[in-house]
């Protein structure tokens, strides 16, 4: 941990629930420096029960930035975003929509995994508004580095955090939404919601919706 981060921890009382990430950002802004510094972040309490911070991943020159809610169990262990079951759903939908994940930068609104125990399993728990706010400086720094042409918000948490509280993914998905963060912005469902559907038909419908929304996103980029 850097001297700057240690000082920030002292200033914020060390483990304050939602002191915010701003004090932990490095002076030199590059994706590599940000990714390294995020491991020392104590801007909210979520770091305490997570394995590691899961920072965004992808090329600096990526035209597309995809943002989800938070890392899941697999991501928490691997330290990479969207590598678990939801990541595989996303990869398949991207392929079907003609988008190469290698051309995307993929991240989350919150960098540490929030979970609740259920038996031996660690179940996803939605980060609250204060935790989302606390973590926002990391996402803003990523947006600053990537400057995406197309911003794709995966799920309601990311859509409302980045595109406004009034956005309803159920209604607004798959169409261009106004944003100061990118030339084009669009919202769609979170890939994990495909997996939560009650039966195969519902899963197929959700999968199709995700793919169609990503196709619409790709069309925006083509102009």
Q: What are phi and psi of 115, to 5 degrees?
A: -150, 165
| In contact, 169 and 161? CB cutoff 8 Å | no
**Tokens describing residue 182:** 């990118």
- Of the pair 43, 87, the CB lying nearest ligand SF4 is at 43
- Of the pair 50, 99, the CB lying nearest ligand SF4 is at 50
Least distance from ligand SF4 to the Cβ atom of residue 18, Å: 8
| In contact, 219 and 186? CB cutoff 8 Å | no
Least distance from ligand SF4 to the Cβ atom of residue 41, Å: 3
Q: CA–CA separation, 94 vs 56, rounded Å?
A: 17
Q: Token match 């399993």: residue?
A: 121
Closest CA to 5 of 46, 49, 30, 36: 36
- Of the pair 101, 114, the CB lying nearest ligand SF4 is at 114
Least distance from ligand SF4 to the Cβ atom of residue 90, Å: 21
- Of the pair 34, 182, the CB lying nearest ligand SF4 is at 34
- Of the pair 109, 188, the CB lying nearest ligand SF4 is at 109
Least distance from ligand SF4 to the Cβ atom of residue 198, Å: 31
Closest CA to 151 of 119, 210, 107, 206: 107
- Of the pair 38, 217, the CB lying nearest ligand SF4 is at 38
The dihedral over CA atoms of 121, 49, 84, 82, expressed in degrees to the nearest 10, equals 150
- Of the pair 9, 47, the CB lying nearest ligand SF4 is at 47
Residues of the shown chain interacting with ligand SF4 in the complex, contacts defined by CB under 6 A: 21, 38, 41-44, 46-47, 53, 110-112, 134-135, 138
Could you give the angle at which helices 156-163 and 129-146 cross, rounded to 10 degrees?
Answer: 70
CA atoms within 13 A on the CB side of 35: 15
Least distance from ligand SF4 to the Cβ atom of residue 83, Å: 18
Distances in whole angstroms, Cα of residue 86 to Cα of each of 53, 77, 81, 93, 210? 18, 15, 10, 11, 12
Least distance from ligand SF4 to the Cβ atom of residue 177, Å: 25
Least distance from ligand SF4 to the Cβ atom of residue 69, Å: 11
């Amino acid at each position: 941990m850097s001297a700057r981060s240690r000082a920030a921890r002292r200033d914020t009382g060390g483990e304050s629930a939602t002191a915010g990430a701003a004090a932990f950002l490095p002076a030199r802004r590059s994706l590599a420096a940000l990714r390294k510094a995020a491991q020392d972040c104590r801007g909210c309490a979520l770091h305490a029960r997570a394995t590691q911070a899961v920072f965004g991943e992808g090329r600096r020159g990526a035209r597309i930035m995809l943002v989800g809610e938070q890392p899941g169990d697999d991501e928490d262990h691997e330290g990479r975003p969207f590598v678990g079951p939801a990541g595989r759903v996303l990869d398949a939908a991207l392929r079907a929509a003609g988008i190469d994940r290698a051309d995307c930068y993929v991240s989350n609104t919150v960098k540490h995994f929030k979970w609740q125990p259920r038996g031996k399993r660690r179940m996803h728990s939605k980060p609250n508004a204060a935790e989302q706010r606390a973590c926002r400086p990391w996402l803003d720094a990523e947006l600053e580095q990537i400057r995406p042409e197309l911003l794709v918000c995966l799920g309601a948490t990311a859509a409302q955090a980045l595109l406004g509280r009034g956005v309803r993914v159920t209604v607004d998905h798959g169409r261009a939404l106004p944003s100061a963060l990118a030339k084009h912005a669009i919202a769609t469902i979170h890939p994990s919601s495909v997996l939560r559907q009650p039966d195969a038909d519902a899963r197929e419908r959700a999968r199709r919706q995700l793919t169609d929304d990503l196709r619409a996103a790709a069309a925006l980029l083509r102009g």
